[in-house]
Structure 1
């Protein structure tokens, strides 16, 4: 059976948007980092204008933008010629290649920055720590209680499935090819009503955990401008937590299209388009928020006082530039060193318990979906 109402071009175009967006974001990542970091190497904040530093950033961005353009053109060519499967495969492989390639290129320039740092003699004579105390509270992530908004969305999805169950056909389509041919059907059972709700619950738990990790993260404050940078970080954390909640609700709301497709109110292809639009909104919106605020709020106050001294240097705790391992730091979560967001302190035993717990929850979700359908 072919879904004649489904236009694969729309789906492919939507998904292909993720490729140039991912590449462009990777290209500008060095410009979004905190002032005292260049390719995960700690430098004096005043050295961001150093010709060598600026040259490394420009070359990194140029290489990734060229690769992104080549992959995007190839994907568009596949879509135009009707090779939708190839276009989708190129999009997935291209995004992985740009991400992995961007990291590998970062390591290459990280080595150059380490050598340049030694050449310039940038060392921290003393490790300065700061604490911000004031009458005005620093902004922070929104309350975790906002995650309760997922419950009415899930309840509405369940209600639609229960009410519409009697109107569902005996065999329900669950998967289709890019040409609109449905290649997987499942017999109608009460479990089909719970399928979208189970997916929504997994998404809600994942996004709520990310929100919790933001709230529990180590706060960043720059020794050279403690109050201003703490405010910038607070605004960044608040904006990211708001977007995280909004993005999760958008994805969960889009999943309502699933029970509607089971009832033939919309086609399976149209339901897929709804989910694809939500995914694009989430990715593009998240990158937009990151570009506006920068990592840890680095772009909020661009005119903060700079220093030609290296006030703090914790490079030894960052393995391969992105993996934080510091047994003396009680923090479980902290801002990333390369990228926008948060990472883990792998020296804390609790982190490994959290990682194992997350893996078990994911495995349980996969098993539940497999057993149910």
Structure 2
């Protein structure tokens, strides 16, 4: 059974790389119409042959690298080479994300030069506000994240009820082949370990959800009402995804105390958790493809314009870091990627980041104390 479990774990693990690569390759096609490789352009530029060729080239390069890494990972999984699977996962994921970003910077430089050559400049910095009788949809309430609490309570109850059945030495880590190589002495703290992991993940998902609710809402000056509606639908879908995906991973963590009691094997526990993570990846990719960044794909047939109504390129450092002290917003939609980023010119952002570091360090220390 452990052999089957280890093979499943390796196969599921090797499938993470293609999802990372597919997302990176598709990113240029998911962005808002007025942005190409983190450069502001007229919406009509999406049909420009040069722009279309750049996007195709980026997708082909990243897609080709993804195909090679996926083949290597799956080959290692089928051959039972655990080291190869982990190496492909770590090196492949880093190579695709870092390489994709580096390639974006190179293509961004080409777009900056092309924008200058075409003379695309904003006549005036236009801004819009959407006012109407019908409310614009937005993220669901952050209170939905309270659903993590009953899941954590169930996990704690399972551990407490099964504590007497746990062995004196509890296995906590194993190789892909099923060999246990990490143990922890049985103490009452052990039943709190999966709950602590759930709490930390719940806090991360809730924070991400909160940033959506607090984010600057995007609306295109050329089509304010429809673009605001598209953004609202996108924000709602992303918030639902965070709640559902976070709960799926949290529920899978209930398998941990069951493995402590020996009711299921560690391999089965790993399969449950990795499958939940894979579902999370699939869900994120699906939402991104359906809605696009900030809802760009929802109303992709909106009328295009040759005018450049707004140009804030100077506030985006290296294409992805927003720095604008005149903008009171703490969070806003990303420039290259799907999701939200921070306004690094605001002191409150640095306080939030510092708080996140403190919480993460406290979590790591607490986990070390429990094991």
For this structure pair, what is the TM-score category when the shorter chain's length is used for normalisation? Answer: over 0.9
Spell out the pairing of 1:175-186 with structure 2 (5 A cutoff).
175-186=173-184
Q: Which residue of 1 aligns with 2:331?
A: 333
Residue 162 of structure 2 aligns to a residue whose secondary structure is helix
1:284 shift after superposition:
1.1
Q: Which residue of 2 aligns with 1:236?
A: 234
8 Å CA contact retained: 1:12, 1:79 = yes
8 Å CA contact retained: 2:73, 2:89 = yes
Residue 175 of structure 1 aligns to a residue whose secondary structure is strand
Q: Which residue of 2 aligns with 1:346?
A: 344
* Structure 1 residues without counterparts, runs of 5 or longer: none
1:357 shift after superposition:
0.2
Distance 1:250 1:15 in 2: 17
Q: Which deviations, in whole Å up to 9, do the C-alpha atoms of 1:201-231 show, x marking residues without a partner?
A: 0001111011000000000000000000000
Distance 2:341 2:300 in 1: 24
Q: Which residue of 1 aligns with 2:150?
A: 152
Distance 1:53 1:351 in 2: 34
Residue 7 of structure 1 aligns to a residue whose secondary structure is helix
Q: Which residue of 2 aligns with 1:41?
A: 39
Corresponding position: 1:314 with 2:279: no
Partner residue of 1:138 out of 136, 139, 153: 136
Distance 1:296 1:302 in 2: 12
Residues 184-193 or 50-59, more deviating: 184-193
Distance 1:173 1:362 in 2: 24
Q: Which residue of 2 aligns with 1:187?
A: 185
Q: Which residue of 1 aligns with 2:60?
A: 62
Distance 2:209 2:18 in 1: 27
Q: What's the Cα RMSD here? A: 0.9
Distance 2:33 2:90 in 1: 32
Q: Calculate the TM-score normalised by the size of structure 1.
A: 0.98
* Structure 2 residues without counterparts, runs of 5 or longer: none
Partner residue of 1:52 out of 46, 50, 53: 50
1:75 shift after superposition:
1.5
Residue 181 of structure 2 aligns to a residue whose secondary structure is strand
Distance 1:174 1:133 in 2: 56
Q: Which deviations, in whole Å up to 9, do the C-alpha atoms of 1:311-345 show, x marking residues without a partner?
A: 00000000000000000000000000000000000
8 Å CA contact retained: 1:6, 1:180 = no
